[in-house]
Every structure is written in C-alpha cells, then in structure tokens.
Amino acid sequence: MDKLKKITELKEILKNYEEKLAREMIGYRGVVHESAASEIKHSKVMVYKDMVESLKLEIHNLEKDLNQ
C-alpha cells in the first residue's frame, strides 16, 4: 500500500476516533470513586485518547517519510 493511501485511510480512522472521544467527553468528570459506570467511562476515554494520539503520531511519521 502506498503511503498516500495509508495516510488517507488513517485520517479517516482518526476522524472516527476523535468523534467517539468527543461523545465520551460529554459529562465526563474523571473517575467518581465507587462508581462502576464512572470507571468504565474513564477507561473508554483513556483508550480513545490513546488511539487518537497513536494515529496522529503514525500519520505524522508517514508524512515526514513522504516528504524526505
């Protein structure tokens, strides 16, 4: 797969995860102790944040390689 196509696909995936993260952030207050629902929401938020950061880094690295 060529790099331009890979970058385009990753940007679409990134957009999807950014939307999911935005939805999960609605009403997010961090972890409310002794609340299972709060802990589950916190876990989801952390996973989505990590996915967004990882995708941005991968896109950045591919674009950097493309420009060299």
pLDDT digits (tens, 9 = 90+) for 40-60: 999 999 999 999 999 999 999
5-37 pLDDT, tens digit per residue, is: 999 999 999 999 999 999 999 989 889 888 999
Structural domain boundaries enclosing 40:
3-67
Please give the tally of structural domains in the chain: 1
**Residue 63 Cα distances to 28, 49, 68, angstroms:** 33, 21, 9
Amino acid at 19: E
Smallest CA-to-CA distance from 41 within 26, 51, 61, 56 is with 26
SS (H, E, C) 4-66: HHHHHHHHHHHHHHHHHHHHHHCCCCCCCCCCHHHHHHHHHHHHHHHHHHHHHHHHHHHHHHH
